[in-house]
A and B are shown apart, each in its own frame.
Chain A
């Protein structure tokens, strides 16, 4: 069953994500596809994540289609103007890619080519408008298309913000994304079910399916690093202490167990889970099994 059918029929959906290779050695990508197909409903293919140059996400998503794993093609507005974005979207449809996740993208200055020009001709909301327009058979300039795609557009939202303004701006932007036709939402990683519950209460009026984000903890240091450096992630002290208290050989198990418990706790509040394994892609089936998915 496709991600779209699963979400539209109200079933709990599972997605994960991995990045294209930096280089041309496709072995790991193919291994990931083999491990994940038949397990998750779909996998996000990141788009030069953290503004670090890698193989095209479009090509990697097409490899997923060929390999039998349904991709969610992540598209940022950092590297392409509206002409290239729409062109790649039409090409993606031709290659069997149906799910698109619209993102603004990180600043090139923070990536591995800090000299590069950031494009940002569109942003996450206006990219959603472009997808909606293509689905209706017209490009963003209103020109008619020969044949129209039927993309299933998604977007992201940050659940935790550390200023009131940032939180309100997230909600306001989510409202715009809904107005621009978004059909599903994946969240930044959440570690506190109570916080998630409050967030869900605020956004349920938008009636858009939400997939809660999960990043399995690897070490206590990894958790502290995310707290200090990644906007929108807050790992509470008790989880950090659990990781710190685990013996070295038990750390992985502990991290996976915490992830599974979080999924179990938040499953009743939302329509799906998005597992960002960060190089632990092959452990996703184990996390799912422990979470009873």
Chain B
């Protein structure tokens, strides 16, 4: 399970500054369990956006946004709503946002931050990877994560080491920033390259203690059984 939390609504509204028509997508997988992008949160987001003066052209919750084939097939009946939207707001983890951005030729924005749970939780089939940085940057990078797509996890742009589009670390690895460039170009969003990014906040990447608390953790680390200080004498 990948844990996500909704971004501050001010941040979401700032993303949508130039986009009045929005399609909202949620996920019935981890995002529903995280209370960040299930049916309830998608409906609430729709209302908040409408209250803020946006037109919600459609809203849908898909079982697993991390599965691009599902994203495409489940949205088949919603083509008109998607076409009417300027942007798609995705309430789920960083992988889901990247899959939607890869699957739809639209502007795709993250509505959540993905939170570090301190290790591997499972596997997924696609190439998208989430850093669980707690400060999702996908709005600025066309839905391709610079932290996982770039070997150096650079937030400000390419390092200059790429050769024929490949990272200097290996000819088998694409330069993440060239992928980001091509995506932004394809979506007409090249001005996002001018966004001056602040250094990452590593405090948000560190695992929070409560994220370690799982049922298994409880079994492996049982709380000390406290003996009563004085046995109660039964008459």
A residues engaging B (CB < 8 A)? 82, 104, 106-107, 109-110, 118, 120-126, 129, 140, 156-158, 162-163, 165-166, 168-170, 172-173, 175-176, 179-180, 188, 231-232
Contacts and interface: CB of A to CB of B under 8 A. Distances in A.
B199 A169 contact: no
B204 to A, nearest CB: 13
B58 interface: no
Helix, strand, loop or mixed for chain B's interface? loop
A122 B158 CA distance: 13
B151 interface: yes
Contact of B160 (A109, A180, A231): A231
Contact of A176 (B156, B160, B182, B202): B156
Contacts of A118: 152
Contact of B181 (A122, A169, A188): A169
B202 A121 contact: yes
Interface of B: 151-165, 168-169, 175, 177-178, 181-182, 185, 190, 193-194, 196-200, 202
A240 B192 CA distance: 40
Contacts of B163: 162, 231
A107 B168 contact: yes
B165 to A, nearest CB: 5
B154 A104 contact: yes
B196 A166 contact: no
A123 B177 CA distance: 14
A231 B162 contact: yes
Among B160, B163, B185, chain A packs the most CB atoms within 10 A around the CB of B160
Contacts of B157: 125, 169, 172-173, 176
A172 B181 CA distance: 10
Contacts of B178: 163, 165-166, 169
Given A82-B199, A121-B202, A179-B196, A107 B156 contact: no
22 contacts: A104-B154, A107-B161, A107-B169, A109-B169, A110-B168, A120-B154, A121-B202, A123-B152, A125-B196, A129-B199, A163-B178, A165-B165, A165-B178, A166-B160, A168-B190, A168-B193, A173-B158, A176-B156, A179-B194, A180-B196, A231-B160, A232-B160
B164 A162 contact: yes
Contacts of B159: 104, 123-124
A166 B161 CA distance: 9
